[in-house]
Structure 1
Amino acid sequence: MPTKSFLNYLQIEKKYSDYTIIAYKKDLNDFFEFYSTNYGEIDVLEINYSQIRSWIVSLVNSGISNRSINRKVSSLKSYFKFLQKTKQINVNPLAKHKALKTSKQVQVPFSEKEIKQVLNLKNETEDFESVRNKLIVELFYSTGIRRSELIHLKIEAIDFNNETIKVLGKRNKERYIPLIKTVQVSLKNYLNYRNKIKSQLSYLFITKKGKIIYDTLVYRIINNYFSTVSSKVKKSPHVIRHSFATHLLNEGADLNAVKELLGHSSLASTQVYTHSSLGKLKKVYNQAHPRSQKK
């Protein structure tokens, strides 16, 4: 398989979950199956953009979404970047490729009621994993951090004296987020359990075997909790982040302040969350504007 060295590289780097590596493998296999069927024996030096474009056209014709196609092409582009880095090719045939246009998906946040129901759920038994899992939900909603940021949080990032947590965001940009009292209590309780787990790692969240938690585990935790209270199709860390921002804006938080809490580099990124607040704005408008009053 021409991609074996690339997949081994991903595993060695340890920046990618097993789920992500499996997705890369499937995307690359799809391309090389298409290539061998249409162009014969695979030689990475001979692959050109025209051939890749034919593959993209076939994907479009198959009816899968542009978003899925972009992901597959992104996997292939990463593979060629690896070949360049290891000096197996000189030119990345996808270097100038532009992603297909995708329609913006409107994320539906969890309601405040759904969040409260989850946070009020009682664990049948209190042990390391149940305390850890509940804290993960609390921390996502009280800070709005990204999944990758939560996974890589360090114990030393917690400052109980200043009631903050230091988060390392995109491009290694640091930001400090306030910790509410209830989360501080949950953190201290979790740390009591964590200290009993043998681990050389300084990451805040670990498995009961002392290893760093991973993407699929985090998704599973969130899905398990919210499946008990919500019928929404998508239940993920990002939906909680979306809920965090939406609920703050609904309560009158300044857009710039929310931007800083989320770790966005521009207001444009934060504004995608404002659409969920329009319902409340319309209600206020209809109640207050003289022209909208019913006679």
Structure 2
Amino acid sequence: MMLDKFLEYLELEKRYSPHTITSYRKDLEDFCLFYLKTEASEDISKADKKIIRNFIVELSENNISKRSINRKLSSLRSFYLFLLKIGDIEISPTENISSLKFYPEKQIPMSEQEMQNLSDQVFTDVQDLLEKCILEVLYQTGIRKSELCGMTFENVNLNAGEIKIIGKGNKQRIIPISENLAAVLKSYVQTRKPATEFKSYFFVNRKGKKLTEKFVYVVVNKYLSLITTKEKRSPHILRHSFATHVLDHGAEISKVKKILGHSSLASTQVYTNANIEQLKKVFNQAHPRASKNDEL
């Protein structure tokens, strides 16, 4: 089936992560079901612009978010570009179909005080080292939950204070860790009991198996619910908080980009918008005109 060939291409040639490939598969399977329902056919290579537009309309009517619709449309674009590349079609049905415009929901990071409260008030009574490590690693390194689940034992050098992360597109990056975090991780290693087939993974659950992203989400949500009333209490918010806090303390945005594993500086610049008060403070301290405002 052409869908399987496309997914194989993403895995072997584009070297996309299993998580990304799963997302592509889900998006394309949703379209296949729609095409089968409306056209009584499984050959989506025959789809035209009208069918793509009808698919978008149905998604909207089912209250699928514009962000999700755009992701599905992006998956379809990639699929039909692949068919163009191998000569199966002569024109893409997604050509000239624009993504939906929307204003992304503002992500509000945890405050530094909230994260300090987590350390001072919550973690003092926490006996579960694994759960503490999950929160601390996500907040102190800014890595993605998928990257945390995929951390391997051989890529963690606690003596050197470094973690090698395999990110999107199998790109590698080295992330420094504090002595405090290294000490917590060393304590966890003493309690770690992986099953034979999961020995290569640094973090394993109580059954000795590799962590799932769902488990990580549940743990993070549980602890953040104890310190904040903010709506977003996900692993990504800890990544957002990491970036915001280090930028607030003067870290160069290019260095933060490298740590986060962003391919584009624009992705990192999102976090510079998180704290307008900090930006105002920087302006008032640094701009030559700022100190003269009172004299105007």
**Which TM-score tier does this pair reach, normalised by the shorter chain?**
0.7 to 0.9
**Partner SS for 1:211:** coil
CA contact (8 A) 2:126 2:132 kept: no
Partner of 1:144: 142
Partner Cα distance (1:136, 1:103) in 2? 31
**Does residue 295 of structure 2 align to residue 290 of structure 1?**
no
Partner of 1:242: 240
**Does residue 197 of structure 2 align to residue 200 of structure 1?**
yes
Which residues in structure 2 correspond to 1:32-181 (within 5 Å)? 34-35=34-35, 38-40=38-40, 43-44=43-44, 46-60=46-60, 64-74=64-74, 90-91=88-89, 96=95, 98-120=98-120, 121-122=122-123, 124=125, 126=127, 130-181=128-179
Partner Cα distance (1:172, 1:43) in 2? 32
* Structure 1 range deviating more: 146-155 or 40-49: 40-49
Partner Cα distance (2:285, 2:45) in 1? 67
Aligned partner (choices 181, 184, 205) of residue 182 of structure 2: 184
**Partner SS for 2:134:** helix
Q: How does the TM-score come out when normalised to structure 1? A: 0.77
**Partner SS for 1:272:** helix
**2:138 maps to amino acid:** F
Report the identity percentage: 38
**5+ unaligned residues in a row in structure 2: which ranges?**
9-15
Once the two structures are superposed, residues 140-168 of structure 1 have per-residue CA deviations (whole angstroms, 9 ceiling, x without a partner) of 11111122221111111122332211112
Following superposition, the deviation at residue 28 of structure 1 comes to 3.9
Which residues in structure 2 correspond to 1:221-236 (within 5 Å)? 221-236=219-234
* Structure 1 range deviating more: 268-277 or 239-248: 268-277
* Structure 1 range deviating more: 115-124 or 171-180: 115-124
Q: How does the TM-score come out when normalised to structure 2? A: 0.77
Root mean square deviation, CA, Å: 3.8
Partner Cα distance (1:153, 1:274) in 2? 28
Partner Cα distance (2:133, 2:237) in 1? 17
**2:50 maps to amino acid:** S
Q: 1:180 and 1:33, CA in 2 relative to 1: closer, same or farther beyond 3 A?
A: closer
**Does residue 18 of structure 2 align to residue 15 of structure 1?**
yes
